[in-house]
């Protein structure tokens, strides 16, 4: 039910649009001096050329001739609709428009003849046309090819080189500091009878461990 209503609406719209375009073409032809039945023949000529060009385009989309005549007929129809919408004084039609209207029958006859009698380009098919059967394709494989070479052994991974040893530098002990440390060591030996430990000496002097180790080494405390 819905589809039938939709088709009827489209048909009514097409009839209304066709009638308006037909009337505009008739009015323009009559204003250009084509009176009587000739004024009614112009809309028929324009619409027939438009339909013929469209039918040709349905079978040959790339036909330039069909596109040319379709544009010409569409321009004539649209031009008449626009010209009769108040933009042109139909009581004083310019001379160039009279010339176009008078020459339209010959132009429409030429376009219709070319559209009907010009053969359409044959559609190219992907498969060849012929009665002879084509031989099936046979895959060819060579048997004299040499065996593929065995894959090469991967190169052994080299162990990362060991970082070079960081040279250790022995801090230089000033003579005055060495004498002061010797006095502390002698006093500790005199009071306890044993050499002073390195950590005790470091605590007494308040120096970092590398400097204390260097002093202990020179005092032969280790």
Give the pLDDT score at 146.
Answer: 57
Exposure of 68 by Cβ count < 10 A (0-12 exposed, 13-18 middle, 19+ buried)? middle
Exposure of 196 by Cβ count < 10 A (0-12 exposed, 13-18 middle, 19+ buried)? buried
Give the pLDDT score at 155.
Answer: 57
Q: What are the structural domain ranges in the chain?
A: 2-117, 175-219
Q: Are 191 and 184 in contact, with CB atoms under 8 Å apart?
A: no
Question: Angle between the 2-31 and 37-59 helix axes, to the nearest 10 degrees?
Answer: 130
Give the pLDDT score at 105.
Answer: 85
Mean pLDDT by 10 residues, the chain (222 residues): 61 78 82 85 86 84 82 86 77 83 86 77 49 54 59 60 59 75 81 78 75 74 55
Give the pLDDT score at 137.
Answer: 59
Extract long-range pairs of 189-193: CB within 8 Å, 24+ residues apart. Answer: none
The two three-digit tokens of residue 28, written as one number? 């323009």
């Amino acid at each position: 039910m819905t589809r039938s209503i939709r088709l009827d609406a489209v048909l009514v719209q097409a009839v209304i649009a066709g009638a308006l375009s037909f009337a505009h073409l008739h009015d323009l032809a009559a204003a250009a001096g084509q009176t009587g039945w000739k004024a009614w023949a112009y809309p028929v000529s324009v619409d027939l050329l438009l339909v013929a060009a469209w039918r040709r385009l349905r079978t040959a989309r790339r036909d330039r001739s069909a596109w040319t005549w379709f544009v010409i007929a569409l321009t004539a129809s649209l031009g008449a609709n626009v010209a009769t919408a108040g933009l042109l004084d139909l009581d004083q039609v310019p001379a160039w428009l009279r010339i176009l209207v008078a020459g339209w029958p010959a132009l429409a006859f030429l376009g219709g003849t070319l559209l009907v009698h010009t053969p359409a380009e044959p559609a190219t098919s992907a498969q060849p046309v012929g009665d002879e059967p084509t031989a099936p394709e046979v895959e060819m494989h060579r048997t004299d090819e040499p065996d593929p070479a065995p894959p090469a052994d991967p190169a052994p991974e080299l162990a990362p080189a060991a970082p070079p040893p960081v040279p250790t530098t022995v801090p230089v002990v000033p003579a005055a500091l060495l004498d002061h440390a010797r006095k502390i060591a002698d006093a500790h030996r005199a009071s306890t009878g044993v050499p002073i430990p390195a950590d005790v000496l470091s605590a007494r002097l308040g120096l970092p461990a590398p400097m204390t180790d260097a002093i202990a080494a020179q005092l032969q405390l280790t």
